[in-house]
Structure 1
């Protein structure tokens, strides 16, 4: 990184009675974006695209079922990925191309009209299902190229957007999903999420050129005038003057940028996994005072590259309520101007914060902000909340949080949800854990709503195992091009096996466990925060991560690579037995692993494996060993114990 030179003043200086002169702008000797440094191929594609237009516009109207690599990179900014359905490839016909469309839903809020439109689009142009993402948005899978314009324009004209849902820009802004109308802090939180999404949305108009033939659709929604004014403000070097993209410029950001907003104590948004976390601070009367900020979180890793890693965000400081948008722009500008553009694997903000350290990052950000950050305001301990089940909104109406297994709405469940949402004109909220909350339910309609949902197979919350309720998985196979193994389709069965192993180990039936699974190391389901994380590292094989905690404030770490699905019982049973025998009262698996550390856990698990093997030998199959899946008479737990002890 280029060293900073020059003077940084304490603020604005007024020479005599004249106009204020800015002296504390960003002060590198040469702006990093002007350097002729090595850049990745994607950087060149962005620069030549005329702000995300070409060659995408031309390729969307040709006869091919696919678009080129250059167009794929631009398509992401518009909210879509090209995918290959590996299980629909016809012999001799090559890849089965289709597209995934992702929406932008700040704080997960979905108007009634948009929900119904998305439900229709899934049936008419998708694969008949709706996917709720881990960032409170929709994914519509299976859209063919020639239907893209119809699908996108329909979303835009029905109170939705896909702009910036993917690509090297700010992604969907998460927000605490509590549907409490009588809690000012949550109302401020959801407004801030929406305003930040507006602030950082691409501005060039390419999106409307592409999907609405240049007509910027006029809706009843207007962004907050303060958002407009603060976006235009350029007192401290955050903007490109006279550019169609005042914040992003021709190059946009080095990589994706993720923001989450919440209130003190509510970590339903996995706050510390984001590039920027915003925490609403109110006074004793509930009035908005300002915001605590954290920076530098992120989950993604690259297989085989130890220089890539998950990271938790660090406290940055506090800003008054009037300075939020300026502070957001300042953080984005630092990443824009100093983030790596030569190596996309190292281009996320977390690597810049890790390289510089939080104090240097703060000092540079303050130059773009024009003032110093305040001291971080003390807050209560964080809790994980999912808002499932029935609750009161605070305005006489009810909400109902519904668990959706791995976020996939399909079949009779999809029909039942549609019937309820349409009949009772309900808005919904999508949660950060792939579930859905029905809002504004009249108490008199509760029984009828439940009857419709039960008839459609939507289970009561008590009918789900707590492991299912707390788990998440990414879509993985067959559509994601990065996936090397299953996630969404395999986790339900694996959760059942985990429950059986816990029971066999002697743990109580009510034992909870946070499990997350991804089909590759990118971490879309945030497995590195789980108590038990499965990260795909080969066909039917996972790296096992242990040690995250239940309130999502501690990273798990790699416990073992390449554990095959068929060996799950042999691998996990000794760990669970050791946890049962050595934990403190009600100590969770993650806390137990973090307290002992991996070496001690391995030792305890090896001892447990030996005990399990001895018991199996005593009660075995006549040759001194319990039978196993390979039919070789070797006790699985003993083999696992040797493997663990060897580590």
Structure 2
């Protein structure tokens, strides 16, 4: 007798390779929603159903259903797009969503407040730009992220190419996307396997891959299921160190769920990197926990079975073992703002974008400015993993015209980006995220403003500190890698975490639980004052807290692996 599958697994098996009844749900004009099962399946297609939580009570009083809409996320490996694509995506923001573009922590765009009758149109407009949303969500490999600028050197370009190849190779293949969103006639045939790699159950949970180029860890590679560390010598890409088993999410009260940083397990050459990723994803496909969904991430597969087990399985799946890891050093995980010139003489400008929101406000006409830049820019745009934006690949001749627009719209005005804000990230949270317990994106500026006063009073107005804020314990803004981090517990109340390092190689620790803003600020003030008086030269806040035994150091898997790596 066959064992009954868990509900989430049975849903995938019965979905006819991600079709479900999505088409029927989209055609139902009596509701702005789709069914619960189809809501789970549309995640594979890059979209989450949400409702506008600020209006829930009012709509309930009016006997109306919640104001349902959808968040749509693009698959954009490496975060690169050209000017024509930028202008097209900007048009979509007005045509199909709420008039804003949001840069995510995985180098792509999200649209918010997309109503059901606009979903197919948005997908069609996106595909017409040479882009798609496949696998931006769901139990498959997600958007592959990498170093922020592929044009800085020949090696950077090779790394970006690897990100694209990995993403394309691990993208799901079912005809459901073309059938549902593009109107193509793709008749489902029972018994035919449309997913030669994933099969009809796909992965146990989502899977994330990131690539970094030392000394910069701007993709927070150890927070990913697979982290690839580019090894470059004399300008040539030799290959990648491979880390496995990272992940940020956890559930309050569930001690078997926890954030974890990846273990460095070996090295592969560039020609083997795609096959290496496929082999590792296949191990998770075949051995990941499909019974208990909160325990289904690859980090738990690694934690439960151990590294020796993983190495044995990898050798079987890949056909040969990993080589020994090579030395590397990581020093930071933030972005480098301002102008940078690449080896080929081209220029690149990194702009700070608060919480990744491309919108026009009374203070800053950012969306208008970027549209005007896209009209004249002949290079590319690049989204960073810290929700910022690079205007990339600008020639000497084109630089003055870009500089003029940047100045006109005050995009690179240092007064708009105080030091604390440069490395601060927040998830969307309220009012649209169904998981949010507290504010995040909307609250972050207010919180930072009060923290900036404390920093200025302590004589540290220009000191960089990695600050992360989320509305729940999940990892959308990678909170457990913040030197200071807040995760929402309830409206106006947060857990306070302290003590991560500045380069993404040490987790923070829970310091206070379920506290309000006053308690948080009153706790941070004396710590920051002590930091100002007793820090060593160039010491970061998280390292100071650990050195002074204010926070116990988290012994991470990164630090425990056997390769001789400078950290």
Per the TM superposition, whether the score is higher than 0.5 is yes
For 1:78, the equivalent position in structure 2 comes to 45
Q: Distance in 2 between matches of 1:578 and 1:264?
A: 32
Q: Distance in 1 between matches of 2:500 and 2:2?
A: 42
Q: Larger Rg: 1 or 2?
A: 1
Tell me, yes or no, if structure 1 residue 178 matches structure 2 residue 149.
Answer: yes
For 1:127, the equivalent position in structure 2 comes to 98
Tell me, yes or no, if structure 1 residue 578 matches structure 2 residue 544.
Answer: no
- Give the alignment of 1:496-515 within 5 angstroms: 496-504=449-457, 506-515=458-467
Distance change in 2, residues 1:435/1:253 (3 Å)? same
Corresponding residue SS for 1:98: strand
For 1:604, the equivalent position in structure 2 comes to none
For 2:280, the equivalent position in structure 1 comes to 331
Corresponding residue SS for 1:443: coil
Whether the 8 Å CA contact 1:38–1:341 is kept in 2: the answer is no
- Give the alignment of 1:263-412 within 5 angstroms: 263-284=213-234, 286-411=235-360, 412=365
Q: Distance in 1 between matches of 2:426 and 2:334?
A: 18
- Give the alignment of 1:192-591 within 5 angstroms: 192-214=162-184, 243-284=193-234, 286-411=235-360, 412-461=365-414, 463-504=416-457, 506-591=458-543
Distance change in 2, residues 1:153/1:404 (3 Å)? same
Distance change in 2, residues 1:448/1:97 (3 Å)? same
Greater displacement, 317-326 / 52-61: 317-326
Greater displacement, 475-484 / 40-49: 40-49
TM-score, normalising length from structure 1? 0.80
User: Deviation of residue 135 (structure 1)?
Assistant: 0.3
Q: Distance in 2 between matches of 1:427 and 1:166?
A: 25
Unaligned runs of 5+ in 1: 1-34, 217-240, 602-647
User: Deviation of residue 111 (structure 1)?
Assistant: 1.9
Question: Which of 51, 65, 90 pairs up with 2:32?
Answer: 65
Q: Distance in 1 between matches of 2:274 and 2:123?
A: 29
- Give the alignment of 1:107-118 within 5 angstroms: 107-118=78-89
Tell me, yes or no, if structure 1 residue 597 matches structure 2 residue 531.
Answer: no
Distance change in 2, residues 1:578/1:385 (3 Å)? closer
Whether the 8 Å CA contact 1:188–1:280 is kept in 2: the answer is no
Whether the 8 Å CA contact 2:509–2:552 is kept in 1: the answer is no
User: Deviation of residue 385 (structure 1)?
Assistant: 4.7
Greater RCO structure (CA 8 Å; 6+ sep)? 2
Corresponding residue SS for 1:467: helix
Summarize deviations over 1:592-613 as a string: whole Å, max 9, x none: 1222334689xxxxxxxxxxxx
Q: Distance in 2 between matches of 1:158 and 1:508?
A: 46
Q: Distance in 1 between matches of 2:247 and 2:381?
A: 28
Q: Distance in 1 between matches of 2:447 and 2:302?
A: 37
For 1:228, the equivalent position in structure 2 comes to none
Distance change in 2, residues 1:274/1:53 (3 Å)? same
For 1:40, the equivalent position in structure 2 comes to 6
User: Deviation of residue 455 (structure 1)?
Assistant: 3.4
User: Deviation of residue 374 (structure 1)?
Assistant: 0.9
Distance change in 2, residues 1:38/1:547 (3 Å)? farther
Whether the 8 Å CA contact 1:476–1:483 is kept in 2: the answer is yes
Q: Distance in 2 between matches of 1:61 and 1:362?
A: 49
Corresponding residue SS for 1:390: strand
Corresponding residue SS for 2:50: strand
For 2:116, the equivalent position in structure 1 comes to 145
Unaligned runs of 5+ in 2: 554-567
Greater displacement, 563-572 / 155-164: 563-572
The count of aligned residue pairs is 540
TM-score, normalising length from structure 2? 0.91
Q: Cα RMSD (Å) of the superposition?
A: 2.0
